[in-house]
Amino acid sequence: MKDSSDVLVTAYIGLGSNLDNPVAQIKSARAAIALLEGVSELTFSSLYHSLPMGPQDQPDYINAALSVETYLTPIALLRSLQAIETIQGRVRKDERWGARTLDLDILLYGDEEIDVPDLMVPHTGISERSFVLYPLFEIAPQLIIPGKGIIADLVAKCPLDGLKQMV
């Protein structure tokens, strides 16, 4: 399987952390993504403070969104992001929505809809999660999310649920 193609694609990545200095984790992940071969940063959102999804007995999250141009295939990009998560101390557990040092998700990959065992794009829940929608809307207010609609319409229907943009 090829890791890259001749086609340059705009992809959107969601970043989240709630362990081991989350702001530093997000900044470090951004720097690591910038060093990936075949990936160039376009825009980066503000940082957002959000309440945890799932179990509430964990620290609050810091979230952001990043747009990149890439020649990497979706799976190659996913594997690269997972390697960054591991380097930054993420331990994968069976627990869903648990605390983590770093969570990097491919939110969108061009206008593709992908549904394979390791990757679903647009990302599951993208249209209902304030901590994904608001940072994404900040960097791409005209975005159309395949199969979901116009981001401005989705944001208008999505309550903040405690989300706060950090200064």
Number of domains the chain is built from? 1
d(CA 128, CA 145): 12
Q: What is the mean pLDDT of the chain?
A: 92
Which of 144-149's residues contact partners 24+ apart within 8 Å by CB, and which partners?
144/111, 145/108, 146/108, 146/111, 146/112, 146/113, 146/122, 147/113, 147/122, 148/122
Q: What is the mean pLDDT of residues 72-88?
A: 95
d(CA 86, CA 52): 21
pLDDT at 1 over 60: no
Catalytic residue among 30, 100, 115, 129: 100
79 is a catalytic site residue: no
105 is a catalytic site residue: yes
Residue 117's contacts (CB-CB under 8 Å, 6 or more residues apart) are: none
Note down the domain range covering 130.
4-165
Catalytic residue among 30, 103, 118, 161: 103
d(CA 82, CA 135): 21
Catalytic residue among 3, 30, 60, 90: 90
The CATH number linked to 54 is 3.30.70.560
103 is a catalytic site residue: yes
Which H helix or E strand runs over 11? Answer: strand 4-17
d(CA 82, CA 104): 7
Q: What is the mean pLDDT of residues 78-83?
A: 96
Model confidence at 50, pLDDT cuts 50, 70, 90, reads: very high
Model confidence at 58, pLDDT cuts 50, 70, 90, reads: confident
Q: What is the mean pLDDT of residues 67-83?
A: 97
pTM of the predicted model as reported, rounded to 2 decimal places = 0.93
pLDDT at 155 over 80: yes
* pLDDT score for 48: 98
- Verify cis geometry, omega within 30 degrees of 0, for the bond prior to 122: yes
In this prediction, what percent of the chain has a pLDDT beyond 70?
95
Catalytic residue among 6, 30, 105, 118: 105
